[in-house]
Amino acid sequence: MIDTLRNVFELHGFMGIETRAVETGASLLKKGETSKQIYLLSRLQDVGHESDEPLAERLGLHFDLTVPLSRYVVEHTGDLTFPFKRWQIQKVWRGERPQEGRFREFVQADIDVVGNGTLPDHYEVELPLVMLEAMERFQAFGLPQATIHVNNRKLSEGFYRAIGLSDVEAVLREVDKLDKVGEDEVVKSLMQYCSANREQAQACLKLAEIREYEPHALREKFDALCHSYDVDTTSEHYALAIEGVETVSMILREAEKVRSHAVIADLAIARGLDYYTGSVYETSLEGAEELGSVCSGGRYDNLVSQGNKKYPGVGLSIGLSRMLSYLLHTQGAHANRQSPATVLVGVWNEENRDASNAIARTLRSRQIASDVAPTAQKIGKQIRYASRLGIPYVWLPADPNAEPGSENATDQVKNIITGEQMSADVNTWVPASEYGKQEIVVGSESAPAQ
Amino acid sequence: MIDTLRNVFELHGFMGIETRAVETGASLLKKGETSKQIYLLSRLQDVGHESDEPLAERLGLHFDLTVPLSRYVVEHTGDLTFPFKRWQIQKVWRGERPQEGRFREFVQADIDVVGNGTLPDHYEVELPLVMLEAMERFQAFGLPQATIHVNNRKLSEGFYRAIGLSDVEAVLREVDKLDKVGEDEVVKSLMQYCSANREQAQACLKLAEIREYEPHALREKFDALCHSYDVDTTSEHYALAIEGVETVSMILREAEKVRSHAVIADLAIARGLDYYTGSVYETSLEGAEELGSVCSGGRYDNLVSQGNKKYPGVGLSIGLSRMLSYLLHTQGAHANRQSPATVLVGVWNEENRDASNAIARTLRSRQIASDVAPTAQKIGKQIRYASRLGIPYVWLPADPNAEPGSENATDQVKNIITGEQMSADVNTWVPASEYGKQEIVVGSESAPAQ
């Protein structure tokens, strides 16, 4: 799956980077929300004295790939060509309570584009489309159809302010819980923590109900909602909201040209993180909505800065481990065989191991992965060894003691799944394409094994 | 380089595994030597209370891939088919003082084969040969010729005991320092810490001087040394040493059939780690001996055990980061270009970005990595953007405003390195092979970019 992602990302001109697993406490603690989940490091010899070092200077494991990117861009700004498009696939760590789909160590796959000073809007539709292309490739591994849900911070902020709510971050934080706690609880929280009255809280829910594929309908629904709450359409707040509506509309329009109905405007999307300033994305899988978002991100104009220079960016992150866990445990994805070897070369006796090694060497030089039997036990046992590893072919070298002209006097290759056996020349033989390589298969469509 | 290793390992039937970055203190602390270099983890919320948890139960980052393998085999013994051949390429961490070629975070690439109860000797030559094949592939990236130096613990132990030294581990530890501290210091230490008299210490040095490609000569030199120190050739110690000599001889003989003079018996090889019980390996690079060993390992019969079951193994580890650092800083290895994209599709104006996107999509569907110009600035600036990223081709879409029949009325592709420009069809055009992909080049043999 990582190979697939890398291929898609590089086909789109993203450059791969890898950053160290650790960042300083100062970098990691910028984002308040996840701070409790940070793993700090200490050397064994410092046990008992960990707290002597200020938190900001201690090292901790990164919990996402955005903090490292932000440091990377600032450190390498002189060497980079902007807009800088990078992919990064690495492990990240969070001190969470582990459960299905939620791990303490997991792999994230990120793409971001970062501009120097400015960044054109078209990236706000191009990046989600790259992720959609990647997820389409995963359909071969059992992934259902993915839909990217898009909203815009300007839209939310403009609307909340227009109806008189000023603590935008707090409102977003509560609306973000809709899926988990339900409408009643969110209304309660909005009233309790965000100084909303019941009508304002209801307005927030109404906004969150809007889902739309079609740009004009989106604008109509939004304007109707504003109208029903007496929003002043000459206000700066309304203007800000309309900026957001227009970006969302642009995304719907452009995405529709490439992938029909793969992107939907969903004004319930809030995202917990407060560094987003424009588009925000989450991704649902058809029939697996309970899994939560498998690919999220957004536009951030102020995350990366150096002095008075700003580096606005757009980025999305695939939660690869969560997705893989779903494919393995719900969709039955699995490797078609344990061993990458396509051929097990048999060994008649230890004195003739050389001959078997030579056959394996030739096959490997032709890019046919080959193992050699561990011991010269009875050929039935060697076949059983291949079978346990899922190796589809056993190569039987010409038996040095065979009668000339007999079957055993030439190399034979046996497909242990079909039982077929035939004479074969090590310089020209090729495996049938369905047995050629180790790969991911779905459900019961398995290859050999026992 | 990781792709190359993976390809070589899988061609030989090794199965890839990946283990979590952490192990328990109990697992990590089994090996005394590196314990001070272990990084322990603690959650931010536990700062100040780290020491409340017993060290054995705390989590620490793995410092090699052998400890995780040993745990993995024990945990999955029921699911594995033995001999179990696995490759593993991961980051490891050591709290060392960082310097050129020595890092606190680095990548190791390991292959091991682990048997259940027994493990045939032939793996003691096969595994080093796999690593040699991998390192030969690295010659394309500037790696010099590699030579694997092999010794055997039985040989060393038998000889040391035969001349009256009983603290074998201590002797090995001192002999292991020969390269670093020189002969005089080692003699001193052997006398000081290993109860050796001057003659015994000298004998250890004489043994360490033996280097030999040829099995018979090896046996002769060894026997001559034993004779000169009046070793009793009927003793069990001598018999043990000869077992070791014979394994080394087998390795020399078998390796010579496949790769001439790529493996040498070098009786100075000691290896610091005490879990090796048979062959031990280190690897030198021609003309870069000061780099130290870039690929080391050995046979261990007692590392992995469960109850009274033993899982003997043979394994080698390539220090990929150290090797890469050498290639980058000494050999001038570098990427031929920054961007994986082969083509930058130009954009005449933002209204026509769709046309450029469509061209890029078609090229990508044909596995030609393509980027699209970030903005519709003057074409000269777009070319400069491509040039800065090392993208060799700029695709100029048919200009919608061009005179019919004129050059600009059809798609053109320009090689910005050679300056060549020609009409091109997006469905059939292919890049020249020398500009086809991002790859590692050596020295000044660079592609574009300035």
What pLDDT does residue A444 have?
Answer: 63
Mean pLDDT of chain B: 93
What residues of chain B lie within 8 A of the CB of A60, using their CB?
A: 44
* Residue of chain A minimizing CA distance to B11: A369
Say what the ipTM of the complex is.
Answer: 0.94
Q: Which residue has the higher pLDDT, B273 or B330?
A: B330
Q: Are the beta carbons of A348 and A399 closer than 8 angstroms?
A: yes
What pLDDT does residue A449 have?
Answer: 41
Confidence label for B37 from pLDDT (cuts 50, 70 and 90): confident
- Taking CB atoms within 8 Å and a gap of at least 24, the contacts of A284-290 are A284/A146, A284/A147, A284/A149, A285/A143, A285/A144, A285/A145, A285/A146, A285/A147, A285/A326, A286/A144, A286/A145, A286/A146, A286/A147, A287/A144, A288/A144, A288/A326, A288/A330
Residues A159-174 have pLDDT tens digits of 999 999 999 999 999 9
Confidence label for B444 from pLDDT (cuts 50, 70 and 90): low
Q: To 10 degrees, the CA torsion angle through B405, B407, B409, B413?
A: 150
Residue B10: which of A81, A340, A361 has the nearest Cβ?
A340
Give the bridge partners for A335, in sequence order: A440
pLDDT at A43 over 50: yes
The arithmetic mean of pLDDT across residues B96-105, rounded, is 83
What pLDDT does residue B190 have?
Answer: 96
Whether residue A39 and residue B43 make contact (CB cut-off 8 A), yes or no, is yes
Residue A13: which of B48, B55, B340 has the nearest Cβ?
B340
What pLDDT does residue A35 have?
Answer: 63
**Quick one: how many helices (H) and strands (E) in chain A?**
14, 19
- Which residues between 116 and 155 in chain B have a beta carbon less than 8 angstroms from any beta carbon of chain A? 120, 122, 126
Confidence label for A405 from pLDDT (cuts 50, 70 and 90): confident
Lowest mean pLDDT, pick from A55-59, A220-224, B9-13: A55-59
Distance from CA of A191 to the nearest CA of B (A): 31
Residue B13: which of A122, A340, A361 has the nearest Cβ?
A340
Residues A291-332 have pLDDT tens digits of 899 999 999 998 888 888 999 999 999 999 999 999 999 999
Of the residues B30, B31, B34, B40, the best mutation for testing chain A's interface (the one with the most A CB atoms within 10 Å of its CB) is: B40
CATH pick for B2-334 out of 3.40.640.10, 3.90.180.10, 3.20.20.140, 3.30.930.10: 3.30.930.10
What pLDDT does residue B31 have?
Answer: 61
Interface check A177 vs B, CB under 8 A: no
Interface check A10 vs B, CB under 8 A: yes
3 state SS of A424: coil
pLDDT at B277 over 60: yes
The arithmetic mean of pLDDT across residues A65-81, rounded, is 95
Distance from CA of B235 to the nearest CA of A (A): 30
Q: Which residue has the higher pLDDT, A124 or B100?
A: A124
Residues B196-208 have pLDDT tens digits of 999 999 999 999 9
Alpha-carbon distance B415 to B387, whole Å?
10
Give me the half-sphere count of Cα atoms (radius 13 Å) on the Cβ side of residue B368.
26
Percent of chain B with pLDDT over 90: 83
Interface check A24 vs B, CB under 8 A: no
The arithmetic mean of pLDDT across residues A380-409, rounded, is 91
Q: Are the beta carbons of B396 and B379 closer than 8 angstroms?
A: yes
Confidence label for A36 from pLDDT (cuts 50, 70 and 90): low
For chain B, give the number of residues.
450
Confidence label for B143 from pLDDT (cuts 50, 70 and 90): very high
A2-32 b/e (C-beta count within 10 Å ≥ 16 → b):
eebbbbbbbbbbbbeeebbbbbebebbbebe
Residues B388-397 have pLDDT tens digits of 999 999 999 9
From residue A384, alpha-carbon distances to B123, B130, B378 in Å are: 20, 25, 67
Q: What are phi and psi for residue A229, nearest 5 degrees?
A: -110, 20
The arithmetic mean of pLDDT across residues B398-403, rounded, is 84
What pLDDT does residue B33 have?
Answer: 52
pLDDT at A203 over 60: yes
Residues 6+ apart with CB under 8 A from A273: A31, A33, A298
What pLDDT does residue A447 have?
Answer: 43
pLDDT at B29 over 90: no
pLDDT at B364 over 60: yes
Mean pLDDT of chain A: 93
Q: How many CB atoms lie within 10 A of CB B57?
A: 9
Q: To 10 degrees, the CA torsion angle through A23, A29, A34, A40?
A: 50
The arithmetic mean of pLDDT across residues A234-250, rounded, is 98
What residues of chain A lie within 8 A of the CB of B22, using their CB?
A: 105
What pLDDT does residue B49 have?
Answer: 78
The structural domains of chain A, with segments of one domain joined by +, span 343-441
What pLDDT does residue A98 have?
Answer: 80
Distance from CA of B14 to the nearest CA of A (A): 7
Residues A125-153 have pLDDT tens digits of 999 999 999 999 999 999 999 999 999 99
What pLDDT does residue B448 have?
Answer: 42
Alpha-carbon distance A125 to B29, whole Å?
51
Interface check B42 vs A, CB under 8 A: yes
- For residue B283, the Cα-to-chain-centroid distance in whole angstroms is 11
Which residue, A249, A254, A17, is CA-closest to B361? A254
Q: Which residue has the higher pLDDT, A373 or B54?
A: A373
What pLDDT does residue B446 have?
Answer: 45
- For residue B238, the Cα-to-chain-centroid distance in whole angstroms is 35
Structure tokens at A343: 């051929």
What pLDDT does residue A37 have?
Answer: 85
* Residue of chain A minimizing CA distance to B104: A20
Q: Would you state the CATH architecture of domain A343-441?
A: 3-Layer(aba) Sandwich (3.40)
Q: Are the beta carbons of B41 and B58 closer than 8 angstroms?
A: yes
Residues B56-81 have pLDDT tens digits of 899 999 999 999 999 999 999 999 99
Confidence label for B449 from pLDDT (cuts 50, 70 and 90): very low
The arithmetic mean of pLDDT across residues A1-13, rounded, is 97
Interface check B441 vs A, CB under 8 A: no
